[in-house]
Every structure is written in structure tokens, then in C-alpha cells.
């Protein structure tokens, strides 16, 4: 590797703890600060957003009100489709960057698939022109209402009830409704976003809202901007990490790395190469004290990299991940995953260490964090959308 700077696993864990606001000295003051620090909060499971923010605040007591204010009143945060066709919560000022860098390509494929499926599944009755007219009408209705459920939009535009056969003649043949497919397409196109949920902050049922206007950015410039922001939080990262997190082609990743002047560094693991921004070469300053953290399923830190051995040992994964690769609630000690947690029917947060090398200090710290989280939840039951073996065992035990 010659004179290449080396960043080992231990230093990577320190960087993670500080940049991801997990270490006590790095905690944030509000929801927007957390979101900007992490670039994106996983929003597939609504509860993840609140739990991820609460775990990183100096004072987590007002987390729910703070997140709801940012999402639905000040609109400084927005829930929208982003990388890998996944729903995230972003700082609103990033909406244009995310849309141009990751959304356009996905949106083009999604719309083409819908037009094709409508034509073949309706015997040619539902055409592209028909769809254009229906969606324009639906968007006008949504603009009038401000926010609306699909059921409310169907009352305004009855053609959304139309059905077509998806996968005609295939083993997975099924009837689909125009409304369900169309709203997803409009979401990835950046024309609508998720609004207030129906019910509490843990609800998976939600309203739709028209996306606030944002500029159309050049794709290459938007990709460079997104990658620069992500490397600032997650560097060093490998090319494989970047390709996985963004969902881009390798050529797009390499072009963006060049545009931001990313610097190669060597990593632990037999010649692995990572990338950092030019101003990230120096090691973090100050003493680093081990700390405990309880993070929710799909937390952006736990799901931040494709190559996870340096913070999540392979032997722990069968208990902590589901079969699709979604991570459940995790227990952290000093910048790495050491176990998992769940919530019993009585509301108590319970946990188990799968790695006990932290000794008594780790157990005391995790016990305190579990008690804090139990108090913060105050009886609200949170069941992860994607359940994992250890979480299910702890919750049902």
C-alpha cells in the first residue's frame, strides 16, 4: 500500500461513534441535527425514525413531539423514497439531491412497468394517456386537501378504483388496484411524499401529501453531493459499501468519488481499500470512553455499510438479521454491536449480550440504557416491522 494512510477497525468504530452521534459527547440537540448528521433515517418502519433520533439526543424526552414538529409542522424533514427504492426521512433541503441522484432512474423504470402492466392487465383498456389524466386529477385533489389517504383520493377521483391483472398467466397472477401502484410511482418520482400517520407515531398507515417544489439538479452534480455528505458521516467506506448504499452503478460511484476528491486508505482485512474525504485523514482527537446504545431495527448506523464485520461480527448475524437482510434492534458497546433487545408485553425493554467481552462495565451501561428506553417509551409497544430471531425470542419470553 506504500504511503497510504491506514485506518484500522478500532479507529473506524471511534469515527462511527462520533459521526453517528452515539457517543455521549457527540449527542445532538434536535431531530434536524440528527438527520443532517446521518444524511438519512430509515423510514420503512415509522417507529425507527423516532427511536433512532431519541437514541442520539442529549435530552430524548421530547423526541416524539420534536420529530412530528419537524416532519409535519415546520417541514424541515421529509419522508420520501430514496436510495434502493427505500423510504427514508431526509432533511428537506436534501430532497432535490436525493431525487436527482437516486430517484430518477428508479422512477423511469417504475413508470414504464406500470404503463406496461396496465395495458396487458386490462386488455388495452387502461392506456398511458388514461393514466396521465387520472394522475393529474388525483394530484389536483391532493393539492386541494393538503393531505389525504388513498381512500379519500378515491372519493375525489373514482377511476383510481380501477383494477387490472398483474402477471396474467403467471404463478403470481393477482388483481391490483390503480391507486396502490400509482401512488408508489408518484412517490419515487418525487411528486408525492408520506404525510401524517393515521394514529400514533408507531402507525404504518399514513396520508399522502404533494411534494414541496424543489429545483431539478444535474444527475452527476447531485450524485457527487450525496456521496460527499455520506462519506463525511460513514468514511472510510469501500466501493462495495458505496454501491450498495446508493444503489448506483459502479461507474457512477467511481465518477462521484473522483468529483469529491476522495482519498484511498487501507483498511483491516487483508488489503481492503476504503475512501475518505480529503479532510478526514486525521484520526479523531480526544479520549474515547466505551458507551452503550440501544438502536432500533433498521437503524441507519446498523444498516450503513454492506461490509459490516468491523462493527457486527458474522457470528452474531443469524440472531440479529431476518432472512432478507434487515437488522433488528441492536445493543452497542463502544462502537460495535454486542447483542440485541426487544420489548415485552408489559412494556419493559429486555436485552441479551451475544458478546460479553465488555464485562461488568458493559452490562451496567446496557442496564441503564434499557431502563432509560423503557421509561421513555412509557408503555408504548413497538414491534419492529421486520422481526428477527433474537428480538422475537426476547419479546415473547
Q: Whole-model pTM?
A: 0.92
Residue pLDDT, tens place only, 308-345: 999 999 999 999 999 999 999 999 998 999 999 999 99
Average pLDDT, stretch 280-287? 88
Half-sphere exposure of 200 (CA within 13 A, CB side): 8
E strand intervals along the chain: 6-7, 41-42, 77-81, 87-91, 147-148, 163-166, 174-177, 192-197, 206-210, 263-267, 273-276, 292-295, 330-333, 337-343, 349-353
Euclidean distance between CA atoms 164 and 116, whole angstroms = 11
CA proximity to 125, closest of 154, 176, 155, 162: 162
Res 1: pLDDT: 46
Beta carbons of 264 and 273 less than 8 angstroms apart = yes
Averaged pLDDT of the chain: 94
Residue pLDDT, tens place only, 70-109: 999 999 999 998 888 889 999 999 999 999 999 888 889 9
Average pLDDT, stretch 168-194? 91
Q: Residue 140: is its pLDDT beyond 60?
A: yes
State residue 161 phi and psi, 5-degree precision. Answer: -75, -15
Euclidean distance between CA atoms 17 and 4, whole angstroms = 24
Q: How far is CA 76 from CA 69, 161, 226, 295, 297, in A?
A: 9, 33, 18, 23, 24
Q: Residue 287: is its pLDDT beyond 80?
A: no
Report which secondary-structure segment, H or E, holds 117: helix 104-121
Euclidean distance between CA atoms 69 and 64, whole angstroms = 9
Does residue 224 or residue 2 have the better pLDDT? 224
Beta bridge partners of 80: 88
Euclidean distance between CA atoms 10 and 373, whole angstroms = 27
DSSP 75: -
Question: Residue 285: which residues within 8 A CB-CB, separation 6 or more?
Answer: none
pLDDT band at 3 (very low <50, low <70, confident <90, very high): confident
Q: Residue 292: is its pLDDT beyond 50?
A: yes
* % the chain with pLDDT above 90: 84
Euclidean distance between CA atoms 296 and 106, whole angstroms = 27
Average pLDDT, stretch 209-220? 91
Euclidean distance between CA atoms 122 and 130, whole angstroms = 12
Res 2: pLDDT: 56
pLDDT band at 214 (very low <50, low <70, confident <90, very high): confident
Euclidean distance between CA atoms 291 and 369, whole angstroms = 10
Q: Residue 228: is its pLDDT beyond 90?
A: yes
SS3 151: helix
Res 81: pLDDT: 87
CA proximity to 332, closest of 347, 320, 345, 323: 320
Res 270: pLDDT: 78
Average pLDDT, stretch 207-225? 93
CA proximity to 54, closest of 202, 255, 194, 238: 202
Euclidean distance between CA atoms 327 and 188, whole angstroms = 24
Res 212: pLDDT: 84
Amino acid at each position: 500500500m506504500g504511503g497510504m494512510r491506514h485506518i484500522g477497525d478500532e479507529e473506524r468504530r471511534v469515527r462511527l461513534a462520533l459521526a453517528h452521534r452515539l457517543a455521549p459527547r457527540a449527542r445532538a440537540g434536535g431531530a434536524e441535527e440528527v438527520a443532517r448528521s446521518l444524511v438519512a433515517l430509515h423510514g420503512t418502519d415509522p417507529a425507527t425514525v423516532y427511536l433512532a433520533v431519541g437514541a442520539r439526543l442529549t435530552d430524548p424526552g421530547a423526541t416524539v413531539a420534536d420529530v412530528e414538529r419537524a416532519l409535519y409542522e415546520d417541514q424541515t424533514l421529509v419522508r420520501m423514497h430514496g436510495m434502493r427504492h427505500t423510504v427514508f426521512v431526509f432533511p428537506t433541503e436534501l430532497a432535490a439531491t436525493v431525487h436527482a441522484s437516486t430517484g430518477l432512474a428508479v422512477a423511469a423504470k417504475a413508470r414504464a412497468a406500470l404503463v406496461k402492466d396496465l395495458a396487458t392487465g386490462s386488455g388495452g383498456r387502461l392506456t398511458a394517456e388514461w393514466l396521465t389524466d387520472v394522475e393529474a386529477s388525483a394530484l389536483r385533489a391532493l393539492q386541494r386537501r393538503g393531505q389525504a389517504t388513498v381512500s379519500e383520493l378515491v372519493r375525489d377521483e373514482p377511476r383510481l378504483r380501477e383494477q387490472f391483472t398483474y402477471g396474467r398467466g403467471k404463478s403470481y397472477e393477482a388483481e391490483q388496484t390503480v391507486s396502490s401502484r400509482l401512488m408508489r410511482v408518484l412517490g419515487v418520482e418525487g411528486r408525492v411524499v408520506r404525510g401524517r400517520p393515521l394514529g400514533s407515531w408507531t402507525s404504518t398507515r399514513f396520508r399522502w401529501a404533494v411534494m414541496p417544489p424543489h429545483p431539478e439538479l444535474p444527475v452527476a452534480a447531485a450524485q457527487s453531493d450525496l456521496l460527499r455528505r455520506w462519506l463525511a458521516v460513514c468514511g472510510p467506506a469501500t466501493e462495495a459499501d458505496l454501491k450498495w448504499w446508493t444503489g448506483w452503478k459502479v461507474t457512477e460511484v467511481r465518477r462521484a468519488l473522483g468529483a469529491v476528491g476522495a482519498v484511498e486508505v487501507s483498511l483491516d482485512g487483508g488489503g481492503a481499500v476504503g475512501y475518505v474525504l480529503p479532510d478526514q485523514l486525521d484520526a479523531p482527537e480526544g479520549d474515547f470512553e466505551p458507551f452503550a446504545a440501544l438502536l432500533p431495527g433498521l437503524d441507519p448506523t446498523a444498516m450503513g455499510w454492506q461490509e459490516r464485520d468491523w462493527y457486527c461480527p458474522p457470528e452474531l448475524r443469524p440472531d440479529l438479521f431476518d432472512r432478507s437482510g434487515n437488522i433488528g434492534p441492536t445493543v452497542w458497546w463502544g462502537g460495535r454491536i454486542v447483542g440485541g433487545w426487544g420489548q415485552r408485553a408489559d412494556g419493559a425493554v429486555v436485552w441479551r449480550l451475544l458478546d460479553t467481552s465488555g464485562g461488568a462495565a458493559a452490562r451496567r451501561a446496557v442496564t441503564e440504557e434499557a431502563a432509560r428506553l423503557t421509561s421513555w417509551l412509557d408503555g408504548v409497544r413497538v414491534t419492529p416491522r421486520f422481526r428477527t430471531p433474537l428480538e422475537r425470542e426476547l419479546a415473547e419470553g
